[in-house]
Chain A
Amino acid sequence: MTSVSAPVRPPVRPRVGSRIVDAIAKWGFVAVTVLLIVFFAVTQPVFATPENLVGMLKYIAPIGIAGLGVTLAMTVGGLDLSVGANAGFAVSIAAWTMVIGNQVGGIAVGVVLLSGALIGAINAALIVFARIPDLLATLATMFTVVGLKLIIVDGKSISSQMTLDDGTTAPGRFTPDFLWFDRGFIGPISVPVVLFLGLTVVLWFVLDRTRWGRALSAVGSNPEAARLAGIRVRVYRAAAYIGCGILASIAGLVLAARIGQGDATAGNSLLLDAVAVALVGVSVLGIGRPNAWGTALGAVLIAVMVTGFSMMGLPYYIQDFGKGLVLLVALLFSFTFRRRKTTIVAGSTTAS
């Protein structure tokens, strides 16, 4: 029998304590970021110079872009552990294409984007069609891609004019058009910063303003309800992982142009930072779900912290400790102190 009276909700009047928690949840990270900027600006005069502020954004661009990729995977209720490996693969494959393959930068960019999309497609196939849980599938991809990269470059870092095994000098080099991705400017702004902010805007627009973004969020928040509403859940989940792969490879492009050689270890540390900024992004502004601007702000917060710490002469390992604390606090606000449920289910999805 249906009950005749619907359950009556008592009017919710939040207590003062919980309202303070809500305010902190909403503005806490913005406030902390602003306070840190002010603190470093006062104590470290170099900090507030325009060169440093741009340099900070430039430094954080690869992490932010990879974080946007993770945000996309989290939007469909998943997580991608292979973004660091993907970016590292991009660094080596770009170097290989230009130095060993003697190609121009444009070709290298094409190869990198294609390989990024391919890695994303493999993840999508493993998760959506082979039904391997996302964390495990992307963990396997991560190891395989790192290994494949080292096989291709023979375990070495590829640099311009390096000596090859047969004693000859490598034919190619990092071309200027490729290095533009680090050193170039669009108008007054450095290219990596333009890419980072531009991709943030694009991802925000897609997720927030288009019907595809709406469908992606629907898949992440309740896949069964999304399917019954006529959303092709598998298509959207696959698209999210492919998009994540492409974003990770763009992060690798920026990284490769910055390093200027095919460092075989590049990208190894990118994964944790990318996942961290995406998770911080969930809690920023109290939104409680993955979002592009939150991820960008999370990246900026980490950039401010890392730059400020190193200007203060603190040892590098303090940075990791600081990042860890930031992430921990963000997670507490996302999961523990919220009255509303945070809707990320990262790492819990097996294909429906």
Chain B
Amino acid sequence: MTSPLPTDAAPADDAPVVRVSGVGVRFGSNQVLRDVSLSLRAGTITALLGTNGAGKSTLIGAISGANAAYTGEIAVGGSVQRLGSPARARRAGIETVHQRIADGIVPGLSVADNLALTDLATGGHRLVRRAEAERIARSALDRLGLTWSDEVLRADADRLGTSDAQLLVLARALRSTPRLLILDEPTSALTAAEADRLFAVLRVLRDEGLAILFVSHRFGEIERLADRIVVLRDGRLELDARRPFDWHAALEAMLGVPTELQQHIAEPLPAGREVLAVEEAVLLPGAEPLSLRIAEGQVTGILGLLGAGKTELAELVAGVRPAGDARLSLDGEPYRPASPAAAIAAGVVLVPEDRQRQGIQPGWSIAHTVGLPVLRALSRAGVMASRREHAAADEVIDAYGVVAPSADARVDDLSGGNQQKVVVGRWLRTGPRLAVLDEPFRGVDIGARRRIGDAARDRAGRGAAVLVLSSDVDEILDVADRIIVLVSGRVVLDTPAGAMDRARIVAALLDDPGHRKESA
């Protein structure tokens, strides 16, 4: 890599561009960010890391004005300011490029108009002439060293590819000559070559004195680009390090150290007959095809960070997303579920990742929630048998220790852990052939985690195949008889539990193709 290392010899005006002091954010009773202090200096690229729910978006929101209700202080250019809105943050010199690039593009307007959008919106222009928009557009692109033809400038911005759209949004953000540029997962939709192009641009900007904060989950690209890494876990700043990076320390900071609460699997259940086979599954764009076999009688844990393809795998198996070129078989028979309903009919059930959005009907009782997947079994000639439905709900409440006044309690009044017990319980009680639990322990207290883990192992012990997907090493070590580590859509480790120690599993997570330094 030719990227210059940051000069630690400070220039004369080395006051931080943005200084965050003791910032905390609370959503309801949930403290999502605690006492974070961080200084961002000119000419430095800082990478922000953390697992899902660590508080990255919340921190970015506070700095970019989107989370106005923060406690603590944020100083810009040495003076403490209240960043109460994105517009105010922008005036202070903080520009943010959000992850969803499409949100930054106005379809129907030309590329030039999109580039000139903020200028035209704020510059007191009444009538917009094409020549004026194109002049602004060229000057915006010039900042990134890009020259786009008139043809491109006059095309509908909707027709730009993801990478060019990303550059458009970036060029526009730089129009206001910000002092801090925040990029939220800028490469998540880019190919490797496109990411390289973006990085080249970012390095130039850094060398010109811009402070850059970017969020990424890809260690490889952080290694290539960043001068400094900061790691958040559970809303706290856990690590703040400069080059050379100690990736094991970074990963430990992200994932946390094991606690004595750990109850690792002492005697792994042996694999039984093969239940599910997956062949030629391309989980992520451009990833290698994946092949996988899942056996009955044990819990298979799939460990992977965000963007590793876990949810894609779960949804493929459960009929939520089309199989494409992937070949699946279930108990030796070809299996190609066209819908979740078809997968359920074949005995494959999914507890989805996002409980609120995908798992529960707002306002429904526990009894109705438990009954929804098995309406036919709980009805007689189409009429719901209330007694059977309540018996099913009570079965789940008793087996999992759901804390609720009765089966008629509203499921959205329960705590996260109890909600999760209900949605896991309603599927496992149906006696599935293959149960897929996607992040079943997220936002769940330790007691509920035990109950759910025990239930999954119990179901496996009675002959089902159980697949648990998680981004948390200890959750996987807690529950799985066999551990598979997924990185960028491919299997990098597949081992029985107990044969591997935690450190080596963590090391496998670092097996990032971005680490191979062949890219130019």
Contacts and interface: CB of A to CB of B under 8 A. Distances in A.
Contacts of B316: none
B51 A1 contact: yes
Contact of A2 (B363, B378, B449): B449
A226 B373 CA distance: 8
A215 B375 contact: yes
A225 B357 contact: yes
Interface in B234-274: 234, 255-256
A231 B340 CA distance: 8
B373 A229 contact: yes
Contacts of A3: 30, 53, 234, 443, 445
A228 B358 contact: yes
B477 to A, nearest CB: 14
Interface stretch (A100-108, A165-173, A204-212): A204-212
B510 interface: no
Contacts of A229: 340, 372-373
Contacts of A13: none
B442 interface: yes
Contact of A218 (B256, B372, B383, B416): B372
Contacts of B275: none
A222 B255 CA distance: 33
A227 interface: yes
B384 A211 contact: yes
A151 interface: no
Nearest to A343: B363
B29 A10 contact: yes
Contacts of A149: none
B382 A8 contact: no
A80 to B, nearest CB: 22
A217 interface: yes
A131 interface: no
Contacts of B363: 221, 288-289, 340-341, 343
Question: Chain A interface: which size bin?
Answer: 20 to 34
Interface in B432-472: 441-446, 448-449, 472
A4 interface: yes
B443 A210 contact: no
B176 interface: no
Contacts of A340: 363
Interface in B314-371: 318, 320, 339-341, 344-345, 350, 352, 357-364, 368, 371
A7 B234 contact: no
Contact of A231 (B318, B320, B341): B341
Nearest to B345: A230
B357 A224 contact: yes
B434 to A, nearest CB: 14
B382 A212 contact: yes
Contacts of B168: none
Given A1-B51, A1-B53, A228-B340, A211 B376 contact: yes
A288 B318 CA distance: 33
Nearest to B30: A7
A9 B375 contact: no
Contacts of B413: 9
Given A214-B368, A341-B363, A4 B446 contact: yes
A227 B343 CA distance: 11
B310 interface: no
A225 B361 contact: yes
A343 B378 contact: no
Nearest to A221: B361
B361 A222 contact: yes
A222 B368 CA distance: 13
Nearest to B344: A230
A7 B416 contact: yes
20 contacts: A2-B53, A2-B444, A2-B472, A3-B53, A6-B418, A209-B384, A211-B378, A214-B371, A221-B361, A221-B364, A222-B362, A225-B352, A226-B361, A227-B339, A228-B350, A229-B372, A230-B373, A232-B341, A340-B363, A343-B362
Interface of B: 28-30, 51, 53-54, 233-234, 255-256, 318, 320, 339-341, 344-345, 350, 352, 357-364, 368, 371-373, 375-376, 378-379, 382-384, 413, 415-418, 441-446, 448-449, 472, 475
